[in-house]
């Protein structure tokens, strides 16, 4: 049970998944295909937190206790820019301090947005503006939520209560579970037939 704890799984995910997903992030973070990487990270956060596929996305980083992937990439970009400014011998420094004219508006160059961002404050702002169920249960999304050290089964159950997403018919119908819809359509006529023809 200890090996399957949330803390161990989270550390493994940060080392194995996040390190690969954020490799050279300042170079490709403004690409149109970053959503493909975010999908894999969201799947990892769902596995660690024990939540379901129907859980709203703003809940995942809160329960996983890590910044949003986009904010983490922004922090990596700011860190690289700070290094470039400090090293006069690097050939890329003139492009950062005196960027060339923008010829193609579709290009999102590294030097277009060098204003540093406090990712903790941005995360808190995003959480307050997010319209998710039971958001009032979390005052500060940047801290580890109570129950993180519980056994995995209890932690998963607690998170499903927090997010109001569980293995029930109502939630499965929300995500379009075809099997649940068929069961509902088959069960209703039988129930109506039983009520209309009660046993003597």
Model confidence, pTM: 0.72
Same-domain check for residues 82 and 138: yes
Give me the domain span that covers residue 185: 168-200
The region of weakest confidence among 113-122, 158-167, 190-199 is 190-199
Same-domain check for residues 151 and 198: no
Same-domain check for residues 104 and 33: yes
Residue identified by tokens 């992937």 is 69
Same-domain check for residues 72 and 110: yes
Residue among 156, 178, 159 nearest 1 (CA): 156
Same-domain check for residues 124 and 195: no
Q: How many domains does the chain have?
A: 2
pLDDT in tens, 126-157: 999 988 889 999 999 999 999 888 888 898 99
- CA-based diameter of the chain, in Å? 95
Q: Can you tell me the mean pLDDT for 69-92?
A: 86
pLDDT in tens, 13-37: 888 899 888 898 888 888 888 899 9
Q: Is residue 34 part of a domain?
A: yes
The whole-number pLDDT of residue 197 equals 47
How far apart are the C-alpha atoms of 41 and 69, rounded to whole Å?
Answer: 8
Same-domain check for residues 111 and 183: no
Strand extents, DSSP E, 121-178: none
CA 63 to centroid of chain Cα atoms: 9
Higher pLDDT, 117 or 196: 117
The pair phi, psi for residue 182, each rounded to 5°, is -65, -40
How far apart are the C-alpha atoms of 146 and 61, rounded to whole Å?
Answer: 14
- Residue 126's contacts (CB-CB under 8 Å, 6 or more residues apart) are 58, 68
Same-domain check for residues 61 and 140: yes
pLDDT in tens, 93-126: 887 777 777 776 656 666 666 677 788 999 999 9
| 193 dihedral zone (left: phi>0; alpha: psi -120 to 50; beta) | alpha
């Amino acid at each position: 049970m200890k090996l399957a704890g949330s803390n161990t799984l989270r550390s493994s995910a940060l080392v194995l998944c996040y390190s690969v997903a954020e490799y050279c992030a300042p170079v490709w973070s403004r690409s149109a295909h970053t959503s493909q990487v975010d999908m894999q990270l969201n799947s990892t956060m769902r596995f660690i937190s024990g939540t379901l596929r129907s859980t709203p996305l703003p809940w995942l980083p809160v329960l996983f206790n890590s910044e949003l992937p986009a904010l983490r990439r922004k922090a990596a970009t700011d860190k690289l820019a700070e290094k470039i400014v400090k090293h006069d011998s690097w050939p890329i420094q003139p492009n950062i301090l005196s960027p060339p004219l923008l010829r193609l508006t579709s290009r999102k160059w590294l030097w277009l947005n060098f204003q540093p961002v406090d990712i903790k404050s941005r995360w808190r702002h995003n959480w307050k503006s997010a319209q998710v169920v039971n958001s009032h249960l979390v005052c500060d999304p940047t801290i580890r939520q109570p129950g993180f050290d519980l056994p995995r089964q209890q932690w998963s159950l607690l998170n499903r209560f927090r997010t109001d997403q569980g293995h029930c018919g109502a939630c499965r119908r929300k995500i379009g579970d075809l099997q649940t819809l068929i069961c509902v359509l088959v069960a209703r006529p039988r129930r109506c037939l039983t009520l209309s023809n009660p046993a003597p």
